[in-house]
Amino acid sequence: MLKDTYKRALKDLRISVTDRCNYRCAYCMPFDEYVWIEKQEILSFEEITRLAAVFIRLGVEKIRLTGGEPLVRKDLDKLIAKLSALPGLKDLCLTTNGSLLGEQAAPLRAAGLKRINVSIDTLDPDKFKRMTKRGDLGKVLEGLFAAKSQGLNPIKINAVIERGVNDGDILDLVEFAREHGFAMRFIEYMDVGNSNDWKSGTMVSKDEILETIGARYPLRQTGREGNSAPSVDYTFEDGGGDLGVIASVTEPFCFNCTRGRLTADGKLVTCLFSEDGHDLKSLLRNGATDEDIEGVIRAIWTRRTDRYSDERLAAMHSEQGYQPADHKKIEMIRLGG
């Protein structure tokens, strides 16, 4: 099996299908100095599927489509159908802001999508609009329930918690999810990209999130799915479902990170905080065989040394502290959150 320098396999692939998005969440989206990837540089569905098949041969079992906002890519259900048909793929999922899910839940389900993550940081419509700069919470909830009525299961709700912004919304989100059979995934606010002005003080830690929830709804830890999932999972003691917390800042999981990322313009990126990726698109477009591409991916993965979140935590505890601006990173919309 393909392993990197820390003996981590390549088991998951996140594919950004577009860097474009109809929202402008401040914690994610760069406003200044961002040049959109040109249309002809974006991988076609055929190119994505061909690369996905090579990755599966190398050990990838799970693919998540993301972006940018994946549902702004026209006919995404056609890509879902192609990927669902790939032999050896055990799990295919999608992370979306939900704004276009109302109209797309049925075709996505028909194409073979079984589960989904929808990002909702607050249930207050005004705050939702402020956080996304333009989002309509009503439309997202419509999409969420359309996904439920199409039988997508599980449906997870991703919420990034930012101090002073939506830390007071944690219990509302938990109660909403419990009532409707969704599973919350709380995410520690991270210093992704180069423009979200992240400061450790604005991040609400996993411990704080769990304390808020546990005081009202006692929880029991059940661990990480497959031992390598980003989320540490919990079940409600009263049987009201489960939730997870992704604590890449306070409890990094680099030691077991089996994720590769494919940018919308066909670069393989080996860490969410990487400065650059490895161009696979040129290989695809210049006549390389699948075996050639497999060889290139093998060479990249076997040399992989990334452990950025571990290093960030060490820097945060050091005398100098951690300076996000010292590290140039690929924008999250490009490499897929």
Binding site for ligand SF4 (CB under 6 A): 21, 23-25, 28-29, 67-69, 97, 119, 333
20 binds, among ligand SF4, ligand SAM, none (CB under 5 to 8 A by kind): none
Least distance in angstroms from the C-beta of 263 to ligand SAM: 12
Q: Which does 205 bind (CB under 5 to 8 A by kind): ligand SAM, ligand SF4, none?
A: none
Q: Which lies closer to ligand SAM via its Cβ, residue 42 or residue 283?
A: 42
Binding site for ligand SAM (CB under 6 A): 21, 27-28, 66-67, 69, 95-97, 119, 158, 160, 187, 189-190, 192, 196, 332, 337
Q: How far is the CB of 82 from ligand SF4 (least distance, A)?
A: 23
Please give the torsion angle defined by the CA atoms of residues 313, 314, 317 and 323, in that order, rounded to the nearest 10 degrees: -70
In the bound complex, what is the minimum distance in angstroms from residue 26's beta carbon to ligand SF4?
A: 8
Task: Work out what residue 196 binds among ligand SAM, ligand SF4, none; the CB cut-off runs from 5 to 8 Å by kind.
Answer: ligand SAM
Select 66 or 293, whichever has its Cβ closest to ligand SAM.
66
Q: Which is nearer to ligand SAM, 4 or 331 (CB)?
A: 331
Q: Closest by alpha carbon to 264, among 84, 14, 11? A: 14
Alpha carbon distances (Å) from 131 to 66, 119, 135: 19, 12, 8
Q: 66 near 16, Cβ under 8 Å? A: yes
Query: Which own/partner pairs from 273-281 qualify as long-range (CB within 8 Å, at least 24 positions apart)?
Result: 273/191, 273/192, 273/306, 273/308, 273/309, 273/312, 273/327, 273/329, 274/306, 274/308, 274/329, 274/330, 274/335, 275/327, 275/328, 275/329, 275/330, 276/330, 277/330, 277/335, 280/51, 281/41, 281/43, 281/47
Rounded to the nearest whole angstrom, what is the least distance from the CB of residue 131 to ligand SAM in the complex? 10
Q: Could you please report the per-residue DSSP string of 246-283?
A: E-TTTS--GGG--EEEE-TTSEEESSTT-S--EE-HHH
Residue bearing tokens 């897929």? 336
Question: Residue 169, SS3?
Answer: helix
Binding site partner of 55, from ligand SF4, ligand SAM, none, Cβ cut-off 5-8 A by kind: none
Angle of helix 76-84 relative to helix 101-110, nearest 10 degrees? 30
What the block records as the tokens of 335 is 């490499």
Min CB(303)–ligand SAM separation in Å = 27
Q: Smallest distance from the beta carbon of 26 to ligand SAM, in angstroms?
A: 9
Closest CB 164 distance from ligand SAM, rounded Å: 15
Which residue has the closest beta carbon to ligand SAM? 337
Question: Collapsing DSSP states into helix, strand and coil, what is residue 289?
Answer: coil
Please choose which of ligand SAM, ligand SF4, none residue 89 contacts, taking the beta carbon within 5 to 8 angstroms, the exact cut-off set by kind: none
96, interface contact from ligand SAM, ligand SF4, none, CB < 5-8 Å by kind: ligand SAM
Residue nearer to ligand SF4 on the CB measure, 68 or 277: 68
CB of 96 to ligand SAM, least distance (A): 5
Of the two residues 25 and 219, which places its CB atom closer to ligand SF4 in the complex?
25
- Give dist(CA 3, CA 82) in Å, integer: 27
Residue 247 vs residues 11, 54, 253, 327: alpha-carbon distances, Å:
20, 31, 8, 20
Q: Which does 29 bind (CB under 5 to 8 A by kind): ligand SF4, ligand SAM, none?
A: ligand SF4
- Could you tell which of ligand SAM, ligand SF4, none binds residue 187, using a CB distance below 5 to 8 A set by kind? ligand SAM
